[in-house]
Amino acid sequence: CTLHTFIFSIYKLLLYKYSGQKDFVIGIPVAGRRHPDLLMMQGMFVNNLCIRNEINPEKSFLKYLDEEKHNLAIALDRQDYPFEQLLSELSPVRDASRNPLFDTMFVYQNMSFFSDSESKLKPSNYFIDPKISKFDLSLEVIENEASLSYMFEYATALFKRNTIERFAEHFQNLLI
Protein backbone atom coordinates (compact mmCIF):
# COMPACT_ATOMS: atom_id res chain seq x y z
CA CYS A 1 0.00 0.00 0.00
CA THR A 2 1.03 3.62 -0.23
CA LEU A 3 2.42 5.59 2.69
CA HIS A 4 -0.78 7.67 2.60
CA THR A 5 -2.92 4.55 3.04
CA PHE A 6 -0.71 3.18 5.80
CA ILE A 7 -0.73 6.37 7.87
CA PHE A 8 -4.46 6.91 7.28
CA SER A 9 -5.09 3.36 8.53
CA ILE A 10 -2.98 3.94 11.64
CA TYR A 11 -4.88 7.17 12.37
CA LYS A 12 -8.22 5.41 12.02
CA LEU A 13 -7.05 2.53 14.17
CA LEU A 14 -5.98 4.95 16.90
CA LEU A 15 -9.37 6.68 16.78
CA TYR A 16 -10.96 3.25 17.24
CA LYS A 17 -8.69 2.42 20.19
CA TYR A 18 -9.54 5.70 21.93
CA SER A 19 -13.26 5.79 21.23
CA GLY A 20 -14.29 2.15 20.92
CA GLN A 21 -16.24 3.13 17.79
CA LYS A 22 -15.93 0.69 14.90
CA ASP A 23 -17.58 2.86 12.25
CA PHE A 24 -15.88 6.12 11.25
CA VAL A 25 -16.26 8.71 8.55
CA ILE A 26 -13.02 10.58 8.03
CA GLY A 27 -12.59 13.39 5.55
CA ILE A 28 -9.64 13.64 3.19
CA PRO A 29 -8.98 16.48 0.75
CA VAL A 30 -8.17 15.79 -2.89
CA ALA A 31 -6.60 18.18 -5.37
CA GLY A 32 -9.44 18.10 -7.89
CA ARG A 33 -7.15 18.53 -10.90
CA ARG A 34 -7.60 15.28 -12.78
CA HIS A 35 -8.66 16.89 -16.06
CA PRO A 36 -5.62 17.96 -18.16
CA ASP A 37 -7.13 21.41 -18.79
CA LEU A 38 -6.95 22.16 -15.06
CA LEU A 39 -3.31 21.23 -14.49
CA MET A 40 -1.83 24.64 -15.30
CA MET A 41 -4.81 26.71 -14.16
CA GLN A 42 -4.41 28.77 -11.01
CA GLY A 43 -6.92 28.47 -8.22
CA MET A 44 -8.18 26.02 -5.67
CA PHE A 45 -10.00 22.93 -6.86
CA VAL A 46 -10.00 20.96 -3.60
CA ASN A 47 -12.82 18.54 -2.88
CA ASN A 48 -13.44 16.66 0.37
CA LEU A 49 -13.98 12.92 0.26
CA CYS A 50 -15.80 11.03 2.98
CA ILE A 51 -14.01 7.79 3.76
CA ARG A 52 -16.09 5.24 5.62
CA ASN A 53 -15.08 1.70 6.45
CA GLU A 54 -15.97 -0.26 9.52
CA ILE A 55 -13.19 -1.68 11.67
CA ASN A 56 -13.45 -5.35 12.56
CA PRO A 57 -11.10 -6.03 15.50
CA GLU A 58 -11.15 -9.75 14.65
CA LYS A 59 -9.30 -9.17 11.38
CA SER A 60 -5.53 -9.06 11.09
CA PHE A 61 -3.82 -5.74 10.54
CA LEU A 62 -2.77 -6.80 7.04
CA LYS A 63 -6.37 -7.64 6.10
CA TYR A 64 -7.53 -4.30 7.57
CA LEU A 65 -4.81 -2.46 5.62
CA ASP A 66 -5.82 -4.21 2.40
CA GLU A 67 -9.46 -3.19 2.93
CA GLU A 68 -8.45 0.43 3.57
CA LYS A 69 -6.33 0.43 0.41
CA HIS A 70 -9.32 -0.81 -1.59
CA ASN A 71 -11.70 1.64 0.10
CA LEU A 72 -9.43 4.64 -0.54
CA ALA A 73 -8.93 3.61 -4.18
CA ILE A 74 -12.70 3.52 -4.74
CA ALA A 75 -13.12 6.92 -3.09
CA LEU A 76 -10.32 8.44 -5.15
CA ASP A 77 -11.92 7.10 -8.34
CA ARG A 78 -15.06 9.04 -7.38
CA GLN A 79 -13.29 12.22 -6.27
CA ASP A 80 -14.90 14.39 -8.94
CA TYR A 81 -18.34 13.91 -7.42
CA PRO A 82 -19.28 17.35 -6.04
CA PHE A 83 -19.38 17.53 -2.24
CA GLU A 84 -22.39 19.87 -2.35
CA GLN A 85 -24.29 17.40 -4.51
CA LEU A 86 -23.53 14.63 -2.01
CA LEU A 87 -24.91 16.84 0.76
CA SER A 88 -27.99 17.56 -1.27
CA GLU A 89 -28.64 13.86 -1.83
CA LEU A 90 -27.95 12.75 1.76
CA SER A 91 -29.77 15.70 3.35
CA PRO A 92 -28.04 15.46 6.74
CA VAL A 93 -29.22 17.61 9.62
CA ARG A 94 -27.31 20.86 9.16
CA ASP A 95 -25.53 22.69 11.95
CA ALA A 96 -23.52 25.73 10.88
CA SER A 97 -20.90 25.03 13.55
CA ARG A 98 -20.11 21.51 12.32
CA ASN A 99 -19.17 19.68 9.16
CA PRO A 100 -22.27 17.78 8.04
CA LEU A 101 -20.56 14.49 7.18
CA PHE A 102 -17.41 14.05 9.27
CA ASP A 103 -15.80 15.39 12.44
CA THR A 104 -12.21 14.47 11.72
CA MET A 105 -9.95 15.21 8.76
CA PHE A 106 -6.81 13.47 7.56
CA VAL A 107 -4.53 15.56 5.34
CA TYR A 108 -1.52 14.01 3.63
CA GLN A 109 0.79 16.52 1.97
CA ASN A 110 3.24 15.01 -0.49
CA MET A 111 3.72 17.93 -2.84
CA SER A 112 7.26 18.72 -3.76
CA PHE A 113 8.31 22.29 -4.36
CA PHE A 114 9.72 23.41 -7.66
CA SER A 115 13.38 24.13 -7.08
CA ASP A 116 15.62 25.99 -9.47
CA SER A 117 19.25 25.10 -8.77
CA GLU A 118 20.43 28.50 -9.99
CA SER A 119 18.04 30.47 -7.78
CA LYS A 120 18.94 31.56 -4.28
CA LEU A 121 15.33 31.09 -3.24
CA LYS A 122 14.60 27.84 -1.44
CA PRO A 123 10.88 27.22 -0.79
CA SER A 124 9.81 25.41 2.36
CA ASN A 125 6.70 24.61 4.37
CA TYR A 126 5.67 27.06 7.02
CA PHE A 127 3.00 26.23 9.55
CA ILE A 128 0.47 28.95 10.23
CA ASP A 129 -1.75 28.44 13.26
CA PRO A 130 -5.24 29.65 12.34
CA LYS A 131 -6.18 29.71 16.06
CA ILE A 132 -9.37 27.80 15.26
CA SER A 133 -9.97 24.19 14.38
CA LYS A 134 -12.25 23.46 11.44
CA PHE A 135 -12.97 19.97 12.78
CA ASP A 136 -13.05 18.23 16.15
CA LEU A 137 -9.71 16.64 15.32
CA SER A 138 -7.44 16.81 12.28
CA LEU A 139 -4.16 15.19 11.45
CA GLU A 140 -1.88 16.73 8.84
CA VAL A 141 1.07 14.64 7.67
CA ILE A 142 3.79 16.27 5.57
CA GLU A 143 6.10 14.10 3.52
CA ASN A 144 9.51 15.71 3.21
CA GLU A 145 12.41 14.44 1.13
CA ALA A 146 13.79 12.17 3.85
CA SER A 147 11.22 12.24 6.64
CA LEU A 148 7.64 12.75 7.73
CA SER A 149 6.31 15.38 10.07
CA TYR A 150 2.81 15.66 11.44
CA MET A 151 0.64 17.92 13.51
CA PHE A 152 -2.71 17.60 15.18
CA GLU A 153 -5.27 20.36 15.16
CA TYR A 154 -8.11 20.04 17.64
CA ALA A 155 -11.08 21.79 19.15
CA THR A 156 -9.99 23.07 22.55
CA ALA A 157 -13.59 22.89 23.75
CA LEU A 158 -13.42 19.11 23.33
CA PHE A 159 -9.80 18.16 24.05
CA LYS A 160 -7.14 19.21 26.51
CA ARG A 161 -3.60 19.78 25.28
CA ASN A 162 -2.19 16.89 27.33
CA THR A 163 -4.80 14.54 25.83
CA ILE A 164 -3.68 15.42 22.30
CA GLU A 165 -0.02 15.14 23.30
CA ARG A 166 -0.70 11.64 24.62
CA PHE A 167 -2.71 10.85 21.46
CA ALA A 168 0.24 12.02 19.32
CA GLU A 169 2.63 9.88 21.32
CA HIS A 170 0.42 6.82 20.82
CA PHE A 171 0.13 7.64 17.12
CA GLN A 172 3.91 7.78 16.81
CA ASN A 173 4.27 4.49 18.69
CA LEU A 174 1.91 2.80 16.25
CA LEU A 175 3.90 4.14 13.30
CA ILE A 176 7.12 2.71 14.66
pLDDT digits (tens, 9 = 90+) for 123-175: 666 667 777 888 899 999 988 878 888 999 999 999 999 999 999 999 999 98
- CA gap 134, 20 in Å, rounded: 23
Check pLDDT > 80 for residue 74.
yes
Contact indicator for 47, 75 with CB cutoff of 8 Å: no
In our burial notation (b when 16+ CB lie closer than 10 A, e otherwise), range 70-84 reads: ebbeebeeebeeebe
- Assess contact for 139 and 33: CB atoms under 8 A: no
pTM comes to 0.84
Mean pLDDT (whole number) for 104-130: 74
CB 49 within 8 Å of CB 32: no
pLDDT of residue 113: 60
Alpha helices in the chain (DSSP H): 3-19, 61-77, 83-90, 161-175
Q: What is the pLDDT of residue 48?
A: 85
* pLDDT at residue 137, as a whole number: 95
